[in-house]
């Protein structure tokens, strides 16, 4: 058992099974398995998932449609949104 998405605890077998069930885009895999939605926002796992999907579909990674990226891309401390001079 090879864990691919450590944040959401998703294995390579689960990803391959989902692709076999018809989830054949990165967005569908993300919505179905929650891969790429953890604290790292897919920075750790999405490249690996792209490789698995491309291999299963017999496509080049560049042919795959990328997922929607929503900010913030990195966790930021809340004081950034506040006024430092304000008490
Ligand atoms: S390892 Fe997949 S979202 Fe972090």
> What does the DSSP 8-state code read for residue 59?
-
What residue segments make up the domains of the chain, in order of their start?
Answer: 3-81
CA 58 to ligand 1 center in whole angstroms: 24
8 A C-beta contact, residue 49 and residue 15 = yes
Distance of alpha carbon 75 from alpha carbon 83, whole angstroms: 19
Topology, domain 3-81: Arc Repressor Mutant, subunit A (1.10.10)
Closest CA to 46 of 1, 7, 20: 7
| Strands in the chain per DSSP E | 3-5, 10-11
CA 9 to ligand 1 center in whole angstroms: 8
- The pTM of this model reads 0.79
Nearest CA to ligand 1 atom 2: 5
pLDDT tens digits, residue range 7-56? 999 999 999 999 999 999 999 999 999 999 998 889 899 999 999 999 99
């Amino acid at each position: 058992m090879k864990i691919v998405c450590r944040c959401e605890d998703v294995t390579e077998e689960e990803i391959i099974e989902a692709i076999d069930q018809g989830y054949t885009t990165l967005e569908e895999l993300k919505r179905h398995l929650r891969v790429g939605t953890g604290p790292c926002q897919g920075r750790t796992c999405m490249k690996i998932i792209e490789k698995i999907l491309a291999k299963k579909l017999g496509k080049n990674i560049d042919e795959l449609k990328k997922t929607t990226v929503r900010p913030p891309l990195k966790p930021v401390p809340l004081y950034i949104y506040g006024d430092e001079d304000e008490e």
